[in-house]
Structure 1
């Protein structure tokens, strides 16, 4: 095996989900080059991933929104970059038309993808030469690992491994010795949000324990919500508008991360940060994070966690009640 192409195009959380698969491939085929196709809006995590040779990042989302010629030119350039190399195998672990077409454009004789019943767009199956084996009720992360191991015939390590190298910030962060807790309250869907009054209650408890709460945001509406929460949490900090890299650097510097089922909380887990993920509308079993003493998910689809549950989860990942010294 000389060169492998992995296709996972969006979104930020799915990029983090794919990291254990990259580790598996790198250790099963240490001499192979591994390329990754990801949308330009989500390509930072692939670029930070240890063991990825090339990241091919067409601005598919950008072109869909703008229909600008510059984005179309960038997509065509990405296709040329894709076709520069021949691949022993292409692994489409995304499973929609756009990812299947990317695989079809690649120079390869073997293109693996999910069976139609598991695809977001069933007819994408026509672009594959081989179909992944059934994966049962595996989690989002384990599903990718399982089907690729079965397809290529290598042994799967029971443990999930993550290896990232995030660029260092221009100046050191959090140099005052006060531990930071980042609260990722924003999410793409209204039904995935947790009530503001509960965020404030958790923020107040964290402040009482000696943390300084940091509130990130990505849009004017999210900034407004961060400001509402900050007014209820003593000494809370509404962070400035950040790039994905700048936010990732803040996550890497944090002592605790709490948030909904969203990309940066999955990134926090991948970075080994004490993390609590809150579920209200999606499946905790399928998308959640779990590692004893470090990461825990609470709530579930249709089951909204209350404040005591979140505080209990914080106690689990920080190792003690009260002082954050054990974080």
Structure 2
């Protein structure tokens, strides 16, 4: 059994080495051009830095909505991952959104310098800069927090799994932020519960759940059958073809509803290999906002653990999600009492919560065992039972 841990240990060592080099380069650049964190005596508005994925951003919205309610007169500025910046526009929470490239930010000295000059030119000094990313990077989120002027800078504690060098991360947190919130440090606590803890520590606030209903009101109210999601941001979370083919076929036979499948242009070959004639392939044809409109118009959404699956569930669309265990508990399943219709299909293993540092498999270009070894029979049985509980059995009979 000891040999199973070798892939994980090797990957962690490689990961820590790359992170350390990028972080050290960013710190040298920070100290060279800005020897101390940028400060002002008086600023205006609240700044937020979010550079992670679509799902991370979407699950963060109730936290921002709560702050917006607490500070209604303040302008909110968002420095956003360009991947989903257009999606931030439809939330109505931000006065201004500035899209940037986090990949280049972490890796390019010249991009960091050019971006710093551009952001300092476009943005006024902030009253409060909020660093709300749990898995923040020194070379990305912390770098921007260092160079952007603000009266006060506050942060969430850092996720230990980011593998930042301890001496650098502790120095950054002490030198840069006025306060660092430290709540429940369990890796399996859901993001919403972390946000709730932070809000309560500020002034007893609660998450602004109504933000999802408000967004839903501004989206199309059509019912276009089933929407399937094709791809994943990383290949190790991709649903195996045979498993997905059987699941979609079972859903189609059970509901008698048409199925439209969404994805990027790179997902087209995957969709074609599903070889299901009843699928309407929209891969590569929609913008992100158009894809959100599609899932909001669906009666049912089916897919892997992706941002769009979270969008669908929080907008009230019944959602079947096939998930692995890398961040089990942190993003899925949802906490008890959360009223969103999400059914997570998974085969829980003792290694769940590994942070996607798989101890069984080195190759990140194919699904990890927690997904690859899912039993089609058991998964489909769970899925159809849940569909019946959501009222799809009656719908199928009516169409039969």
Instruction: State the Cα distance separating 1:262 from its structure 2 match.
Output: 0.8
Is the alpha carbon distance of 1:185 and 1:315 closer, same or farther for their aligned partners in structure 2, counting shifts above 3 Å?
farther
Residue 309 of structure 1: how far off its partner (Å): 1.9
More moved, 90-99 vs 56-65: 56-65
Residue equivalent to 2:271: 226
**Corresponding position: 1:211 with 2:257:** yes
Give structure 2 stretches of 5+ with no counterpart. 1-42, 353-369
Residue by residue, what CA displacement relative to the aligned partner does 1:201-232 show, whole Å, maximum 9, x if unpaired? 22222222221111222143x21111122x2x
- The match for 1:25 is 67
For 1:74 and 1:131, how far apart are their aligned partners in 2?
25
What is the CA distance between 1:264 and its match in structure 2?
1.0
State yes or no: 1:239 paired with 2:288. Answer: no
Query: TM-score, with normalisation over the residues of structure 1?
Result: 0.81
Question: 1:40: Cα distance to partner?
Answer: 1.7
Instruction: State the number of aligned residues.
Output: 314
TM-score, length-normalised on structure 2?
Answer: 0.68
* CA distance in structure 2 between the aligned counterparts of 1:325 and 1:34, rounded to whole angstroms: 49
Match of 1:251 among 280, 295, 319: 295
Over aligned residues, Cα RMSD in angstroms?
3.4
Q: Which has the higher contact order (CA 8 A, sep 6+)?
A: 2
Partner of 1:141: 192
- Tell me the distance in 2 between the aligned counterparts of 1:248 and 1:293: 16
Out of 128, 131, 134, the position equivalent to 1:88 is 128
Q: Cα gap change, 1:160/1:139 in structure 2, threshold over 3 Å: closer, same or farther?
A: farther
Closer/same/farther in 2, CA of residues 249 and 75 from structure 1, 3 Å limit: farther
**Does residue 38 in structure 1 map to residue 86 in structure 2?**
no
- Where 1:38 maps in the other structure, the secondary structure is strand
Name whichever of 26-35 and 68-77 sits farther off.
68-77
Say yes or no: does 1:154 pair with 2:204.
Answer: yes
Give a deviation string over 1:130-187, Cα, whole Å, max 9, x none.
Answer: 111222443123313422442x323225957525648989xx897xx7x421122321
Structure 1: segments with no counterpart, 5+ residues: none
* Bigger Rg, which one: 2
